Structures are given as C-alpha cells and as structure tokens.
Amino acid sequence: MTRMTRALSLWGLLVVALLAAPSAMARELPDFTELVKDAAPGVVNISTSRMIERSDSPFRSFGDQQIPEIFRHFFGDRLPMPPGDGQGGRHREERQSLGSGFIIDGEGYIMTNAHVVDGADQILVRLNDRRELEAELVGADEKTDVAVLKVEADDLPTLDLGDSDRLEVGEWVAAIGSPFGFDHSVTSGIVSAINRTLPRDAYVPFIQTDVAINPGNSGGPLFNLDGEVVGINSQIFTRSGGFMGLSFAIPINVAMDVADQLKSSGAVERGWLGVVIQPVSRELAESFGMEGPKGALIADLDPQGPAAEGGLKAGDVILSVDDQPVERSSALPRLIGHVSPGGSVAITVLRDGDQQSLDIEVGEWPDGQKAGGDEREAAPSRLGVSVQSLDDAQRRKLSLDQGVRVTEVDPGGIAAAAGLRPGDVLVSIGREAVQSPAQLAELVAGLPAGSAVPVRLYRDGRSYYVALRLADD
C-alpha cells in the first residue's frame, strides 16, 4: 500500500510538472503588448501619388477598377499590347503606393525609406489618431535608402531611438508597419545576423531578422524589447514576392547619421577613395604570403583619385582604416564612406609582404569608367594561354599603359582553372607589370613551381586579381 501511495504521488508530481511546463515556457517568451501601446502612436502610414505617362492598353482597366496585382507581378507597368492595328494613344494616370515611417522628433520630422517616396508628387502621412497630413520631402539618400519627411503639426508622439551597435544575434525584435495597407500591424522575431552586405548596398551593414516583413512595411521601425527603434525595415529576400524568413533593416545609427545630414543640407556627403576592390580568397592570400584571407584587395585605381594621389597601388591589400580592421572587403566602403570629404585616414596595407601605413586624404564621392595587336605569341605551357600585344590605339581605348591580351585558353590548363578567358587583358603577374608576350614568357619561366601567384586582369571595364597555382615541374 505504501509503495502504491508513493507511485501515485510520483505520478501526480509528474502530471503537475507537465501542466506547469507550458506556463513556464510562456513566461519566458517576450510580451510585446506594452511596447506596442507605447510605440504605435509614433508609427505612421505613408501614401504617395505620382502622375505617369504611358501608352493606352486594353488591359489598362477592368471596368474602371485597378489592374489586378497578379498582372503587375509579371508585367509591372508595361502590360502587353495584343496584336492589332497598333492604334492607341498616350495618357497620364495617377499611381499610388504605400509604405510606413516613424516620427523621430517633435518638430515633425519623419523617417522612412527613400524608395517609398521616390518620384512622388504628393506625400500623405496618416497618424495613429487618423489625422492625415501632407508631408514635405526634406531629402533622400538612395545609397542608404533613407529619406526624411517634414509635417506641420502639434503634439506629435515621438519614438525613442536605441543604439543599433549594441544589437546581438538572437535578440528579440518587433516591427510595426502597414503591410499591404493594413495599418499598425505588429510582427516579431529575432536578429538572425548583423553587418550583412547586400548586392548594390555597400554602405549599409544590414540587420537581418526573421520578422515577417511584406510590401507596405518598408520604412517602418524595428524595435528592441526596450521599445527603442534599432532599425528601419527596408527590404526582404524573396522568390515569391512575399515574406520568406529573410528581412533586412537599416541600423538606426547609420540612418540617423544620414538623417542629420539631410536635415542640415538636404544631401549626404560621403568619403571616396577611388579604388576598385575585391575579396581576398585563400588562394590569393597564399600568393601574397598572408596567413589567411582578410582585407580588401585593390584591383584598380582612379589615376586622379585620392588613393592614387596618396600612394596606394593596385595589388595592395588594405588591412585597416584608422586602426579599424578590414576583415572583409565589404567593410571598406562603409569605413571610408563615414569619413567627411577632406578628412585624413591612416590606411594600413600589405605590399610585397610587408605592412606599411599611409595617410590618405579622402575625397568626395563623384556624381558619375571601360576595359583589350597583331603580334601573337604563345606563353609558356605552364599557364596554358596564348596572348598578343596591345597596340597604342587599344591602350588608349582601355586607358592601360601595360598588359597583353589573352587570345586562347587551354581548357585543361591552370589559367582556365583560375578563371582566365579569351579577351582578358593580363596586366601583371606577381608584382611585375606585363608589357609584351615575350616579357610574359620570361616572367612565367622564372616563377617558382608549386606556388600560388597573384595575377591582375582587366575585363569588361574592371580590374580583377586571380591566383594562379603553378604546377610542380
């Protein structure tokens, strides 16, 4: 009997524990209710309109209704014209779009994405209390996708701004916005990664989250658990047109630096070196005598740019800027971009196996460059390429004072394995400039066997470095 009583007691404790477990788990999950109550009034809906001119189309309207979005998904604004007599005119029509934003101070300044208000003839801001205000565009910066608006109103609720540099991967975050026009929708998730670099967005170290973001969320705030804005929801990665678990936000520290410049002058000044860079692969790192891949490899320079004038050279590997390490090449544009034009930076480079530091005066980003004789000679079989000289006209056209053009590539050779192809201009091998096919043959003959050698190429208007791994003799 005693044994049975003990067994029943143990079962009872187990049942209680199982019942209590969900409650304990629930208590560990974040509660966003107070955050939303406090923050929602400072989040706004942004609608824009602009007049566009386009050709008449039988698909222009469906009984005076807007074109279904399924057609826009495939054809955008250029819906197909059916076969016919080709008659038709042009007309002007109003195009509207929706986005989100948030109030950053009591003077009526509102932050959103540049793409939300791009080309807008009119911008309307709808507040949480249903007031609708016409907004003025103070300024927009396409490179960071940040825009600042201004409205005239009193008693505007503002949001607290956090420190995006303190964000950590795994931290809970929430978004408030107007996906598909549904005002003040709340979604939550965690920080998936920080300092993400996306194609064509070299100046933004994006915050990646798994917060559900959809069209209309753009420009809305990303909050930490303290209710502070840590980012601006900007874009998603998608193959379907909808949310797929990868959302990207502009860090608020980056956005506020841009906003302050837009408010003061309506434009953003951004530092510029005048270099073309590429990542350092393991093979290139070995060819430069580095312990591992890091830094930004200078593949080419603007001859009149700040880098060239300051003594930087193609083939230098930039390791740090003002003692801030450049672990990846994608970090360099951001580090230089934050420097005011005219300011000086100390750049540490690896050159010919030695580190040296140069003081470079950073220039201002310019408002608005392309990269190929009859003499033909085969380079040694070690490379597996045939090359020809460049005549004076070709050198002027390509803005090159050295190099030979690759005419043939052995598919089984080491050059093909490194990515060389016909039409490339082989500019240098190792640290030696290539001036002619004969000189290239001499250079290749003197290279040590079994080692990786950096080779500089010019292709399609750009310079690249590749590493050739020479076979053992």
Q: In which element (H, E) is residue 454 found?
A: strand 452-459
- 109-112 sheet: strands from edge to edge: 132-134, 122-126, 43-55, 90-103, 109-112, 146-150, 136-141
Residue entry with tokens 């540099």: 165
Which one of 47, 164, 218, 287 is the catalytic residue? 218
Q: What is d(CA 253, CA 179) in angstroms, rounded to the nearest whole number?
A: 24
Tokens matching residue 315:
């083939």
* Among 300, 302, 298, residue whose Cα is nearest residue 284: 298
Instruction: Tell me the Cα Rg of the chain.
Output: 29
Please confirm, yes or no, whether 115 is among the known catalytic residues.
Answer: yes
DSSP 268: -
Query: What DSSP line would sit under 9-73, residue for residue?
Result: HHHHHHHHHHHHHHHHHHHHS---HHHHHHHGGGEEEEEEEEEEEEE--TTS-SSSSPPPHHHHH
Q: Is 286 helix (H, G, I), strand (E, B) or coil?
A: helix
- What residues form DSSP beta bridges with 414? none
Give catalytic status of residue 56 as yes or no. Answer: no
Q: In the annotation, is 145 catalytic?
A: yes
Write down the catalytic residue from 38, 105, 115, 210. 115
Q: Which residue in the list 97, 141, 145, 329 is annotated as catalytic? A: 145
- For the residues of 129-198, what is the DSSP string, one character each? TS-EEE-EEEEEETTTTEEEEE---SS-----B--GGG--TT-EEEEEE-GGG-TTEEEEEEEEEEEEEE
- Please give the positions annotated as active site: 115, 145, 218
